[in-house]
């Protein structure tokens, strides 16, 4: 099955030029990303697996992009069948503005827990992890197991994607998760919260082990994705000319800045030291108390702000966005078209990377991009 991304070599040169300038602070406008599709009917392709999964319902681009096909298909499905499904989908997507043909193997947030031995459970639109028996913090020794079934599956699908699509697609790195998030998947969230109080030294020892494993997993993925020669991306919509990742610690929503400094900052510092273009996923108002520590990380390039379910949209946090930019960091957001315009009009566009969630036709996208330019 052949792939047609409708993206030329000149388009790639523009993406590489403009994103590199954005990272360097040499571009005054925002990076604005819009995806669309020219398919208005139903998705009918050769892969019976994808057809069965979709149930031949009316095609909606954002719904399909949100599915975790590699996990849904199950370990028994041949790798090439999975890539067939994504090839058909990628052929229908159109890229406008500063977005580019990209794909990453989505096995659920924090799949590194599966690499370390946690049980992996998949539903239609989510993945979760658990341990039959929580690990013992005082005796656990993390091991880089190249024979782990989930590590092998992620690596195989990533390699197959690069082999099939070559330099047509920027294949990204899977969502490895954050150090405490991974440990919580193996220990249990409530128990780990108690551990941070009752046995903090054991927690620190374990998260340090997770960080060492994380760096190995990231490099193993990077060794594959670099083969396409199209830069680096992860689960978030950012393109980088060197090694990159969207770091995170969703667990930090539940701990104090003092605990964040003790358990999370060493991990972030170690990862930032290894990455050329590190970002941090600030997820919800519970993580805002940690922002000053994040802004003080010299090698952290930027902050992604996600307000969380039930909270005001990203554009409704101008003081927070200004704080991020005044702190010398770049900022990436998922916004509506209206939200993107509001941010640019109120705060200017420099330093922002705005992925617009509205699906647009070519004419709609061009009109919107013109409106954004006029708003600067």
C-alpha 28/C-alpha 302 separation (Å) is 16
Task: Give the pair of three-digit tokens for residue 317.
Answer: 């946090």
CA distance 167 to 111: 26
What are 120's strand-pairing partners? 129
| Count of CB atoms situated within 10 Å of the CB of 156 | 15
The Cα 137–Cα 193 span in angstroms is 13
Tell me phi and psi for residue 369, to 5 degrees.
-65, -35
Domain ranges for the chain? 22-375
What distance in Å separates the CA atoms of residue 225 and residue 315, rounded to the nearest whole number? Answer: 33
Residue 227 DSSP one-character state:
G
CA gap 113, 210 in Å, rounded: 9
Closest alpha carbon to 266 in 321, 203, 330, 341:
203
d(CA 335, CA 126): 22
Backbone angles phi and psi of 252, in degrees to 5: -65, -10
- Going residue by residue through the chain, which has 376 residues, state the pLDDT in tens, using 9 for 90 and above: 689 999 999 999 999 999 999 999 999 999 999 998 765 433 433 334 344 433 333 334 444 444 444 565 678 889 998 898 889 888 889 999 999 999 999 888 999 999 999 999 877 667 888 887 878 999 999 999 999 999 999 999 999 999 999 999 999 999 999 999 999 999 999 999 999 999 999 999 999 999 999 999 999 999 999 999 999 999 999 999 999 999 999 999 999 999 999 999 999 999 999 999 999 999 999 999 999 999 999 999 999 999 998 999 999 999 999 999 999 999 999 999 999 999 999 999 999 999 999 989 999 999 999 999 999 8
Secondary structure (3-state) at 120: strand
Question: Which has the closest alpha carbon to 150: 129, 171, 180?
Answer: 129
In 3D space, the residue among 115, 108, 185 whose CA is nearest the CA of residue 153 turns out to be 115
Q: How many CB atoms lie within 10 A of CB 22?
A: 24
How is residue 25 annotated by DSSP? T
Residue showing tokens 């101008």: 318
In the numeric block, which tokens belong to residue 151?
């590590």
Domain 22-375 has CATH 3.40.50.1980: no
Whether the Cβ atoms of residue 136 and residue 55 lie closer than 8 Å to each other: no
CB 128 within 8 A of CB 109: no
With a CB cutoff of 8 Å and minimum separation 6, the contacts of 319 are none
Angle made by CA atoms 303, 305, 311, in degrees to the nearest 5: 165
């Amino acid at each position: 099955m052949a792939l047609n991304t409708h993206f030329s070599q000149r388009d790639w040169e523009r993406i590489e030029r403009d994103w590199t300038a954005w990272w360097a602070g040499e571009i005054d406008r925002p990076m604005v990303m819009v995806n669309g599709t020219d398919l208005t009917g139903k998705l009918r392709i050769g892969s019976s697996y994808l057809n069965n999964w979709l149930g031949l319902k009316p095609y909606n681009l954002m719904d399909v992009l949100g599915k975790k096909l590699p996990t849904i298909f199950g370990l028994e499905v041949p790798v090439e069948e999975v890539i067939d499904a994504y090839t058909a989908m990628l052929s229908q997507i159109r890229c406008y503005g500063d977005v580019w043909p990209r794909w990453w193997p989505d096995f659920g947030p924090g799949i590194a827990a599966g690499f370390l031995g946690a049980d992996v459970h998949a539903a239609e639109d989510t993945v979760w992890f658990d341990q039959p028996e929580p690990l013992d913090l005082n005796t656990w020794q993390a091991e880089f197991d190249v024979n782990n079934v989930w590590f092998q599956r992620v690596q195989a699908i990533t390699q197959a994607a690069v082999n099939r699509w070559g330099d047509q697609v920027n294949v990204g790195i899977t969502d490895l998760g954050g150090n405490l998030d991974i440990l919580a998947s193996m220990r249990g969230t409530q128990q780990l919260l108690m551990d941070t109080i009752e046995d903090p030294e054991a927690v620190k020892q374990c998260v340090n082990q997770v960080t060492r494993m994380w760096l190995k997993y990231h490099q193993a993925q990077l060794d594959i994705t670099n083969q396409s020669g199209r830069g680096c991306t992860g689960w978030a919509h950012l393109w980088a000319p060197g090694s990159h990742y969207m770091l995170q610690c969703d667990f930090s929503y539940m701990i104090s800045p003092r605990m964040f400094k003790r358990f999370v900052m060493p991990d972030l510092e170690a990862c930032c030291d290894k990455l050329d273009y590190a970002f941090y996923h600030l997820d919800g108002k519970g993580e805002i108390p940690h922002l000053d520590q994040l802004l003080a990380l010299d090698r952290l390039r930027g902050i992604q702000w996600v307000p969380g379910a039930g909270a005001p949209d990203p554009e409704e946090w101008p003081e927070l966005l200004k704080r991020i930019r005044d702190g010398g960091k770049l900022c990436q957001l998922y916004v509506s078209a209206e939200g993107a315009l509001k941010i640019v009009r109120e705060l200017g566009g420099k330093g922002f990377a705005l992925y617009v969630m509205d699906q647009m036709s070519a004419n709609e996208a061009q009109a919107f991009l013109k409106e954004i330019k006029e708003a600067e």
